[in-house]
Amino acid sequence: MIAAMRITVLAGGVGAARFLDGLIRVTDPAEVTVICNVSDDFAWHGLFVCPDIDTVVYTLAGLEGDQGWGVRGDTRAALDELTALGEDPWFLIGDRDLATHVWRTERLRTGHPLSEVTRDLAAARGLACSLLPVTDDPHPTVVLTEDGPLGFQDYFVRRRASDAVRGFRFPGAHAAQPAPGVLDALTTADVVVFAPSNPFVSIAPILEVPGVREALAATAARRIAVTPIVGGAAIKGPAASMLASLGHAVSALAVARLYSRLVDTFVLDAVDAAEAPAIEALGLRVCVTDTMMTSGERRDALARAVLDAAAS
Amino acid sequence: MIAAMRITVLAGGVGAARFLDGLIRVTDPAEVTVICNVSDDFAWHGLFVCPDIDTVVYTLAGLEGDQGWGVRGDTRAALDELTALGEDPWFLIGDRDLATHVWRTERLRTGHPLSEVTRDLAAARGLACSLLPVTDDPHPTVVLTEDGPLGFQDYFVRRRASDAVRGFRFPGAHAAQPAPGVLDALTTADVVVFAPSNPFVSIAPILEVPGVREALAATAARRIAVTPIVGGAAIKGPAASMLASLGHAVSALAVARLYSRLVDTFVLDAVDAAEAPAIEALGLRVCVTDTMMTSGERRDALARAVLDAAAS
C-alpha cells in the first residue's frame, strides 16, 4: 500500500475501468474519486444506459464482462425476446445488465439526479471509491462523419465505428453544470490522472463541461495522463482510427500533444520509449512503463507506476 | 371446426387465457375478439405491466408459464440483479417477460395508445384473434380491505390475497373511454362470453367502463357466462375468498346471481349440477359440462360446449 494521496481520475471506457481496478487495489479506495464521462449515455428502448459508468461499476465490483463491458457470463433472454418482437438487437444488453438500466431509469424518472443514482449504484455494488458522473445534465457526443452527424452509440456500436470521423460536437456542453463534487475533486486532489481512455470521446467531453478546464488549471495536483495508444494502436476502441482520420499521427506523442497544456506528466508504454524525447520537448515529464493491462498484476503495476510518478 | 360465429370474450386472468386457448383451436380465431381487463395493470420499476393481456398473449402464443402466467421456463437474472441492488422482488418478472414490458413501456411513452401497442404485441406473437384492452385510459382496481385501500397487485401479489375484502373501487372508471373496437365487438358479436374469470376484479372492471353495460344490453348476441367457481372453490385466484368476505355463498349460483341481468346462459360444472334449478330460476339457461381445463383437450371441450350452447 502506497501512502495515501487523494487521487482523482478522469475516466471513460474499458481502459479506464481496468486502470481503476488496479488503482483501488494498490491505494486506499476511499482516497480515489472517479469523474466519469457520460457523453456516450443513451436511451435504449426508453431505458437510460450509462456505458462508461457501468463499465467502471461492473469492473470494480468484480463483475467485468469478457469483452470488458457488461456483466461476466450474462445471459440475453430479454434481448432475444425483444428481437422476437421485431426489434433490431444492435446494442447488446444482457439480462443482469438490464436490471441496472431499469433501476437507474426509474430513479431518474422519479427525480433523482444521475450523481445521486450513481452514488447509490456504486454503494449497492460495494464500491469503496467515489464515482461521479461529470455532469447530471444531458451532454451527448455527436460524431461528425461523411454521412452526417451521428449519435455516439450509432457511430460506435450500430455502425461499428466504420465511418471516417471529421470531428465532434458537444451540443449540451455549454449548458451542462459539473455534478456536485466534480470541481472539488479536481481542486483538492494530490493527483489527477487522465485514464488510458479515448482522448476525443472519453476525456474531451469531460473537459468540455464548464469549470473543468479551469479547475484543472487551478489545481495544485500533479496531473498525469496515461497513454491510450501503444505501439501505434489503440488498446481498445476507435482512438487510433479517430487520430488518423483527424490528421494526427497514431502515436502516444500525438496524444501527448493533445494533452500537453492540461497535464504535467505523460505515462508512455515501454514499446514507445523512442517517443519520450519528443514528449519531453512538449514540456512534459515522461514515465516509461508497461501499460498493457492484460492481467490483474499488470493493472496493479501500472497503477503503482502512476503513483510513483506522482510521488517523485 | 364449428360454423363460424363472431365471438367476443370478456377476459381476465389465467382461466380466461386457458378458455381462449381452447376456443381459438375449435373455431376460426379471426372471428374471436378478446376484450381484456386492464385494471390489474401496474408500474413495475417504471415499466408498464399488463398481467391479463400478457397472460392471454403468452398462452395463445404457446408460451404459457407453468403457473399459467409469465413465459414457460423463463429465467430471473434481471430480477435477482434488482434484488442485489436492494429492491424487494415481490413481483416476479422473468427475463423474457421483462422484454415485453420494456417494449410496451417505450411504445406507450412515445405516444401509442395501449390498444395499438396490444394489437402490435399480439401480431408480433402470431395471434390470429383480436385482442383489445377494454380501455386505453388508466382504470385501476382499488381493493378495499380492513387495512385500508390497496392497489390490486399490492393486495394480490405482495400481500398474497390475505386481506379480507370489503369492496372495490374503480376510481378511473367514469373517465375511461372504451378502446376503439370494444363497443362494436359487443354489439356486432353473435356470442359474448364471460370467460371463467374473477367476477369482481376481472369482469366487473370491464363492465365499469362507460358504454360496456349499455352495449351488452343492446347486443343481439347470445351472452354466456362460464363459471369460475367449481365445487365451492375458485379454480385459481381469490374469487372464492372474495365471494365469502363480501357475504356471498361460494358457489356457481352466487356468480350466476351476480351476472343474472347481464347474460342469458350460464355454463356450470357437472359437479355443481344440483345448482342448475336455482340458476334457471334466475331466468338463465344452464349448460352443464366439465369446466376444469386441466388439459388441452379439456380446454377444447369446454370451448365446444360453450359454442354448442350458443348455437342451440
Exposed, middle or buried: residue A254 (CB in 10 Å: 0-12, 13-18, 19+)?
buried
Cross-strand pairs, B38:
none
Q: Do residue B46 and residue A81 have CB atoms under 8 angstroms apart? A: no
Confidence of residue A130 (pLDDT cuts 50, 70, 90): very high
**pLDDT tens-digit readout, B202-237:** 999 999 999 999 999 999 999 999 999 999 998 888
CB within 8 Å of chain B, chain A residues 123-142: 124
Share of chain B above pLDDT 70, in %: 99
**pLDDT tens-digit readout, A43-53:** 999 999 999 99
pLDDT at residue A204, as a whole number: 98
State the count of interchain CB pairs (< 8 A) between A and B.
Answer: 95
Q: Do residue B102 and residue A46 have CB atoms under 8 angstroms apart? A: yes
**pLDDT tens-digit readout, B107-155:** 999 999 999 999 999 999 999 999 999 999 999 999 999 999 999 999 9
Q: Do residue A124 and residue B84 have CB atoms under 8 angstroms apart? A: yes
pLDDT at residue A3, as a whole number: 55
Phi-psi group of A55: left, alpha or beta (phi > 0 → left; psi -120 to 50 → alpha; rest → beta): alpha
pLDDT at residue B1, as a whole number: 47
**Is residue B288 predicted with pLDDT exceeding 50?**
yes
Q: Do residue A99 and residue B86 have CB atoms under 8 angstroms apart? A: no
- Collapsing DSSP to helix, strand or coil, A181 comes out as coil
Q: Which residue in the set B46, B74, B102 is minimally distant from A45, CB to CB?
A: B102
**pLDDT tens-digit readout, A134-193:** 999 999 999 999 999 999 999 999 999 999 999 999 999 999 999 999 999 999 999 999
pLDDT at residue B312, as a whole number: 87
Report d(CA A282, CA A224) in Å as an integer.
14
Say if A54 is an interface residue toward chain B (CB within 8 Å). no
Report d(CA A156, CA A161) in Å as an integer.
4
Report d(CA B57, CA B118) in Å as an integer.
9
pLDDT at residue B3, as a whole number: 55
**pLDDT tens-digit readout, A106-125:** 999 999 999 999 999 999 99
**Is residue B66 predicted with pLDDT exceeding 90?**
no
Mean pLDDT, residues B286-304 taken together:
97
Query: Rounded to whole angstroms, what are the CA distances from A212 to A167, A201, A248, B155, B170?
Result: 21, 16, 25, 51, 53
pLDDT at residue A237, as a whole number: 86
Report d(CA A15, CA A226) in Å as an integer.
10
Q: What is the pTM of this model?
A: 0.94
Q: How many CB atoms lie within 10 A of CB B235?
A: 21
**Is residue A77 predicted with pLDDT exceeding 50?**
yes
Report d(CA B253, CA A60) in Å as an integer.
63
A-chain CB neighbours of B110 within 8 Å are 46
**Is residue A68 predicted with pLDDT exceeding 60?**
yes
**Is residue B99 predicted with pLDDT exceeding 90?**
yes
Q: Which residue in the set A45, A78, A84 is minimally distant from B78, CB to CB?
A: A78
Tell me the nearest-neighbour CA distance from B124 into chain A, angstroms: 5
Q: Which residue in the set A75, A86, A100 is minimally distant from B95, CB to CB?
A: A75
- Collapsing DSSP to helix, strand or coil, B247 comes out as coil
Q: Do residue A85 and residue B124 have CB atoms under 8 angstroms apart? A: yes
Residue of A nearest to B126 (CA): A85
Tell me the nearest-neighbour CA distance from B27 into chain A, angstroms: 26
Q: How many CB atoms lie within 10 A of CB A158?
A: 14
**What cell was used for A17?**
475501468
Which of B71, B87, B103, B125 to mutate to test binding with chain A, by most A CBs within 10 Å of its CB?
Answer: B103
Q: Which residue in the set A45, A86, A95 is minimally distant from B78, CB to CB?
A: A95
User: Distance of alpha carbon B290 from its chain centroid, rounded?
Assistant: 20
Show me where the domains of chain B are located: 7-311
B-chain CB neighbours of A65 within 8 Å are none
Which of A87, A102, A108, A125 to mutate to test binding with chain B, by most B CBs within 10 Å of its CB?
Answer: A102
**CATH T-level topology, domain A7-311:** Rossmann fold (3.40.50)
In one letter, which amino acid is B262?
L
Tell me the nearest-neighbour CA distance from B12 into chain A, angstroms: 23
Q: Let me know how many helices (H) and strands (E) chain A has, helices first.
A: 13, 14
Least confident of A232-246, B171-185, B246-260: A232-246
Mean pLDDT, residues B268-294 taken together:
97
B251 phi/psi in degrees, rounded to 5: -155, 160
**pLDDT tens-digit readout, B46-61:** 999 999 999 999 999 9
Least confident of A94-103, B78-87, B231-240, B296-305: B231-240
Q: Do residue A99 and residue B85 have CB atoms under 8 angstroms apart? A: yes
ipTM score here? 0.91
Say if B62 is an interface residue toward chain A (CB within 8 Å). no
Report d(CA B191, CA B183) in Å as an integer.
14
Report d(CA B91, CA B145) in Å as an integer.
20
pLDDT at residue A124, as a whole number: 97
**Is residue B291 predicted with pLDDT exceeding 90?**
yes
Exposed, middle or buried: residue A210 (CB in 10 Å: 0-12, 13-18, 19+)?
middle
**What cell was used for B285?**
339457461
Mean pLDDT, residues A33-54 taken together:
98
**What cell was used for B192?**
359474448
In one letter, which amino acid is A281?
A
Q: Residue B23 contacts by C-beta under 8 Å, 6 or more apart in sequence?
A: B7, B9, B32, B193, B303, B306, B307
Mean pLDDT, residues A216-245 taken together:
94
Residue of B nearest to A120 (CA): B85
Q: Which residue in the set A85, A103, A106 is minimally distant from B103, CB to CB?
A: A85
CA atoms in the 13 A half-sphere facing the CB of B297: 0
